C-alpha cells in the first residue's frame, strides 16, 4: 500500500514537511494502514486546544489489528516468543494460538464482570501472559495499566488508587539474576495500603513461590480460570478511536506518578506509520525488543506496533549477561531477528564484557539496532555499530508521546544520521526551542540551544491527557509559550538544533533523572529517604554514571540526637536508608552514594541548590553561586565526593 510515509526514495524530510503542511491529508492516508470497523467523521478535532482528538467517530480495535487481522495469512506463524533465561522456559505462540489465549483471557475477564472502560491492572513479569492480558483487555474495550513487575508496594498502591482497577492480574514471582522476587507479598501490601482495593485478583502460579497464598473471596487461580474458558471466543468490542486503550504511569516531578493515557485509533495509526518508516519490517519477520512490557517501549514495540505489522515479537526475561554476555546475540542468531530494540545502558553493560561473545554468534539476519530511553554516547554507538555491522538508530521519545519524536528513517529512502543526535523530527512533530527561567534560546555556530518543545496539536498516538486530570496535563506540559507567545508542549529536555535540522538531546530541565533508561523523580526518592526516622532533610540529584547514564546521589541531614557514632553505625544507617528506598520505590531507585551533611546547600529563597550539588558530584565547577545562602553546606558536598 502506498501512503505518504513510503514515498520511495523521496527521503523523510519531504514526508515530514507534508505531515505539517496538511496533517489531515497526511494522517488520513496513513490511517489506511490499519483496519477500521467504521470510518471516522473527522481526522483531527482541535476545537479545544491543546486537547486533540484524532479520528473521532471512527471505530477500531487494537486486538483485532494485532491478532485477528493476521489469522488469514499468518495463523500458523509465530506471533509471540517469550524467552526466559531465569526459568529456562521459552514459549512460542502462533497467531492462532495467541488468538486462542487472548480469547480465553478475555472470557475470564468478562466472567469477572470486566466491561468496556473498566481498568485492569497488570503486575506481571515479562512473560507471555503479559501481552496476552493486555490484548485481552483491549479486545473487550477494558483499559489496562501495566505496572512494572516487582515495583514496591507503596508505588503500586498509588497506581491502584489512581486508576481504581476492577481487577488485578499478577503472578507469584519474577526472577532477576537467579533471584526470585516474590510479587504476592508486595501486592498484598499494596492492596492493604490502597484506598480503592480491587475486588478480584487473578494469580498465575509459575511454581516459583510455593508459599503464595490466596486471599479467600478475592484471589483466584488464573490457570484454573483459563482452563475453564479454553476454546471461548469473545467478540471484538469496536471502540471509538478516542477510547483509552491503556494508562501507563511515569514519574513526575512531584511524588505522584502521572497516568499517561493512550487512545486507540491515533495510537494504532502512529505505530503502524513507524513500522513503515523507522522500523521497517515485513509481516512474518522477527523483531527482538529487550524492553520489559512494564515500560513504554515494551508497549509500543514489544506488543502493539510489532504485532499490528504482523511481525513476530520476541520478548526476554533475564539479564543481558546471564548465562553469559552472548545470550542476546544467540537469540538474534537462533530466531533470525531482523531488528532489535534495546537501551544504551544495556549496550554499555555488554561493552564491558568479552568482545568474543559478539563474534561467537551469527547475527547476519539483523538489519538495524534501535536504542532509546536515554542519551546514546558516541563511543558506545560506534562500538556496537562496528561489532554488529548494522546501522545503530538512536531514537528519542517519551512515555507521553508513545512513539519517537526524533529518529532515523531507514524505511523512507536514504538514512540520514548525525553521530550524537537521535536524528530528525518524526512526522507530525512541529518542533521548536524555547527559553526557560535559566535563560533564552541561544545561537552559536549555527546551532540553536534551548528547551525542546512541540507546537500543538500533538500528532496521533501522543497522550490526549493524564488519567482523569486534565488540569495537571495543562499545568505540567502546556504552560510554556514560544517566541510568538503561542502555547507549546514542553519536553523538559535541553536540546540543540543544527542548520540541517538534527536535534541533539542534552538532558532534562526538571527534577527527573534517568537511571539505566528508567525515569525517576528525585522528589519520589527524597520522600522515601525522608520516611526514615533519622532523616531531617535530604536532596537527591542524578550524577553522570559511565554505565547507567545517571546514578542516584543523595545528601542527607540527620536529625539532632540521631547521628551515627562510628563507622559501623554509619554503614548501618546507610543500609537502612537504602532499604527504605528499596521498599518504597524498588531497587532501581536505590542511591549509589549517600552523604551526611549538617545542612543542605540552599538559595536565599530556600530552594535546594541541586545544580551545585550535581556539578560538584560530577567534579565540575558549581557555577554561579550568588544566590547561595551559606557556602558551608556546599563545601561539605565538595569534601564528601
**Rounded least distance, CB 468 to ligand PRX, Å:** 20
Nearer to ligand PRX, 505 or 600 (CB): 505
Nearer to ligand PRX, 219 or 263 (CB): 263
**Rounded least distance, CB 151 to ligand PRX, Å:** 14
For residue 447, the SS3 value is strand
**Rounded least distance, CB 406 to ligand PRX, Å:** 7
| Closest C-alpha among 163, 154, 472, 441 to residue 146 | 163
**Rounded least distance, CB 263 to ligand PRX, Å:** 18
Nearer to ligand PRX, 95 or 477 (CB): 477
Nearer to ligand PRX, 297 or 346 (CB): 297
Nearer to ligand PRX, 483 or 506 (CB): 506
**Rounded least distance, CB 456 to ligand PRX, Å:** 17
Helix (H) or strand (E) holding 477: helix 470-477
What region, left, alpha or beta, does residue 574 occupy, with left being phi > 0 and alpha being psi -120 to 50 degrees? alpha
Contact 161, 194 (CB under 8 A): yes
**CB-count burial class (<10 Å; 0-12, 13-18, 19+) for 503:** buried
For residue 596, the SS3 value is strand
Nearer to ligand PRX, 237 or 374 (CB): 374
- Nearest-5° Cα angle at 84, 79 to 88: 120
**Rounded least distance, CB 249 to ligand PRX, Å:** 11
Nearer to ligand PRX, 306 or 399 (CB): 399
Please identify the residue of the shown chain whose CB is closest to the bound ligand PRX. 399
**Rounded least distance, CB 257 to ligand PRX, Å:** 11
Nearer to ligand PRX, 68 or 394 (CB): 394
Contact 328, 315 (CB under 8 A): no
**Rounded least distance, CB 588 to ligand PRX, Å:** 12
Determine phi and psi for 84, rounding to 5 degrees. -120, 120
- Specify the length of the chain in residues: 641
Nearer to ligand PRX, 269 or 376 (CB): 376
**Rounded least distance, CB 315 to ligand PRX, Å:** 17
What CA–CA distance (Å, rounded) separates 420 from 508? 16
Contact 169, 205 (CB under 8 A): no
Distances (CA, A) of 415 to 11, 393, 412, 577: 8, 10, 8, 48
Cell output for 17: 514537511
Nearer to ligand PRX, 164 or 342 (CB): 342
Positions touching ligand PRX (CB under 6 A) are: 250, 296-297, 372-376, 394-399, 422, 491, 493, 505, 508, 514, 519
What CA–CA distance (Å, rounded) separates 80 from 99? 11
Nearer to ligand PRX, 94 or 343 (CB): 343
CA-CA-CA-CA torsion sign (41, 43, 44, 47): negative
Residues 358-365: contacts with CB under 8 Å, at least 24 apart: 358/326, 358/329, 358/387, 358/388, 360/326, 360/329, 360/330, 361/326, 361/329, 361/330, 361/332, 361/333, 362/333, 363/329, 363/332, 363/333, 363/388, 363/390, 365/332, 365/333, 365/336, 365/337, 365/338
Distant-in-sequence, close-in-space partners of 515: CB < 8 Å, separation ≥ 6? 542, 545, 548, 549, 550, 551, 552, 588, 589
Nearer to ligand PRX, 30 or 493 (CB): 493
**Rounded least distance, CB 453 to ligand PRX, Å:** 12
Cell output for 32: 489506511
Determine phi and psi for 405, rounding to 5 degrees. -95, -40
Contact 553, 592 (CB under 8 A): yes
Cell output for 308: 499490528
**Rounded least distance, CB 417 to ligand PRX, Å:** 13
What CA–CA distance (Å, rounded) separates 79 from 533? 51
Nearer to ligand PRX, 55 or 279 (CB): 279
**Rounded least distance, CB 546 to ligand PRX, Å:** 16
**Rounded least distance, CB 13 to ligand PRX, Å:** 20
Amino acid at each position: 500500500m502506498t501512503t505518504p510515509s513510503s514515498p520511495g526514495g523521496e527521503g523523510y524530510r519531504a514526508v515530514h514537511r507534508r505531515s505539517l503542511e496538511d496533517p489531515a491529508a497526511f494522517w488520513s492516508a496513513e490511517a489506511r494502514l490499519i483496519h477500521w470497523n467504521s470510518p471516522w467523521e473527522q481526522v483531527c478535532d482541535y476545537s479545544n486546544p491543546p486537547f486533540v482528538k484524532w479520528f473521532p467517530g471512527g471505530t477500531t480495535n487494537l486486538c483485532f489489528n494485532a491478532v485477528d487481522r493476521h489469522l488469514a495469512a499468518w495463523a500458523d506463524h509465530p506471533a509471540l516468543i517469550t524467552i526466559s533465561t531465569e526459568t529456562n522456559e521459552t514459549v512460542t505462540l502462533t497467531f492462532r494460538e495467541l488468538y486462542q489465549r487472548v480469547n480465553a483471557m478475555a472470557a475470564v475477564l468478562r466472567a469477572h464482570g470486566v466491561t468496556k472502560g473498566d481498568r485492569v491492572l497488570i503486575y506481571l513479569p515479562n512473560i507471555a501472559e503479559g501481552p496476552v492480558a493486555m490484548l485481552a483487555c483491549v479486545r473487550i474495550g477494558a483499559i489496562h495499566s501495566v505496572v512494572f513487575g516487582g515495583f514496591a508496594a507503596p508505588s503500586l498502591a498509588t497506581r491502584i488508587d489512581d486508576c481504581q482497577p476492577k481487577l488485578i492480574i499478577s503472578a507469584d514471582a519474577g526472577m532477576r539474576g537467579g533471584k526470585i522476587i516474590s510479587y504476592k507479598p508486595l501486592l498484598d501490601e499494596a492492596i492493604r495500603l490502597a484506598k480503592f482495593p480491587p475486588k478480584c485478583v487473578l494469580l498465575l502460579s509459575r511454581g516459583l513461590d510455593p508459599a503464595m497464598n490466596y486471599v479467600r473471596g478475592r484471589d483466584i487461580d488464573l490457570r484454573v480460570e483459563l482452563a475453564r474458558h479454553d476454546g471461548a471466543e469473545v467478540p471484538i468490542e469496536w471502540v471509538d478511536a478516542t477510547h483509552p486503550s491503556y494508562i501507563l504511569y511515569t514519574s513526575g516531578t512531584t511524588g505522584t506518578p502521572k497516568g499517561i493515557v493512550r487512545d486507540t485509533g491515533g495510537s494504532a495509526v502512529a505505530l503502524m506509520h513507524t513500522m513503515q518508516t523507522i522500523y521497517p519490517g515485513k509481516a512474518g519477520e522477527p523483531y527482538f525488543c529487550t524492553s520489559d512490557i512494564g515500560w513504554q517501549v515494551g508497549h509500543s514495540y514489544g506488543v502493539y506496533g510489532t504485532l499490528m505489522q504482523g511481525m513476530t515479537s520476541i520478548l526476554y526475561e533475564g539479564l543481558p549477561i546471564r548465562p553469559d554476555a552472548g545470550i542476546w546475540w544467540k537469540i538474534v542468531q537462533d530466531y533470525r531477528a531482523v531488528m532489535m530494540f534495546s537501551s544504551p545502558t544495556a549496550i554499555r553493560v555488554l561493552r564491558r564484557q568479552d568482545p568474543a561473545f559478539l563474534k561467537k554468534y551469527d547475527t547476519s539476519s539483523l538489519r538495524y539496532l534501535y536504542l532509546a530511553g536515554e542519551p546514546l554516547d558516541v563511543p558506545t554507538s560506534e562500538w556496537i555499530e562496528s561489532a554488529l555491522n548494522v546501522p545503530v538508530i538512536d531514537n528519542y521519545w517519551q512515555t507521553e508521546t508513545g512513539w519517537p519524536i526524533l529518529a532515523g528513517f531507514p524505511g523512507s529512502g536514504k538514512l540520514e544520521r548525525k553521530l550524537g543526535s537521535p536524528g530528525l523530527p518524526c512526522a507530525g512533530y512541529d518542533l521548536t526551542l524555547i527559553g526557560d527561567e535559566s535563560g533564552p534560546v541561544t545561537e552559536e555556530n549555527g546551532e540553536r540551544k534551548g528547551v525542546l518543545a512541540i507546537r500543538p496539536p500533538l500528532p496521533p498516538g501522543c497522550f490526549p491527557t493524564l488519567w482523569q486530570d486534565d488540569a495537571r496535563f495543562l499545568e505540567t506540559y502546556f504552560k510554556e509559550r514560544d517566541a510568538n507567545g503561542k502555547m507549546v508542549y514542553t519536553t523538559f529536555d535541553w536540546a540543540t538544533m543544527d542548520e540541517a535540522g538534527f536535534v541533539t538531546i542534552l538532558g532534562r530541565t526538571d527534577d527527573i533523572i534517568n537511571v539505566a533508561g528508567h525515569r525517576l523523580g528525585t522528589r519520589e526518592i527524597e520522600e522515601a529517604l525522608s520516611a526514615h526516622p533519622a532523616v531531617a532533610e535530604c536532596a537527591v540529584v542524578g550524577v553522570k554514571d559511565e554505565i547507567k547514564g545517571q546514578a542516584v546521589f543523595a545528601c542527607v541531614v540527620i536529625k539532632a540526637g540521631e547521628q551515627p557514632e562510628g563507622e559501623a553505625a554509619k554503614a548501618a544507617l546507610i543500609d537502612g536508608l537504602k532499604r527504605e528506598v528499596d521498599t518504597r520505590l524498588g531497587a532501581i531507585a536505590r542511591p549509589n552514594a549517600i552523604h551526611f551533611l549538617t545542612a543542605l546547600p540552599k538559595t536565599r529563597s530556600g530552594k535546594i541548590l541541586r545544580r551545585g550539588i550535581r556539578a560538584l558530584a560530577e567534579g565540575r565547577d558549581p557555577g554561579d553561586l550568588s544566590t547561595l545562602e551559606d557556602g558551608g553546606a556546599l563545601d561539605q558536598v565538595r569534601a564528601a565526593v
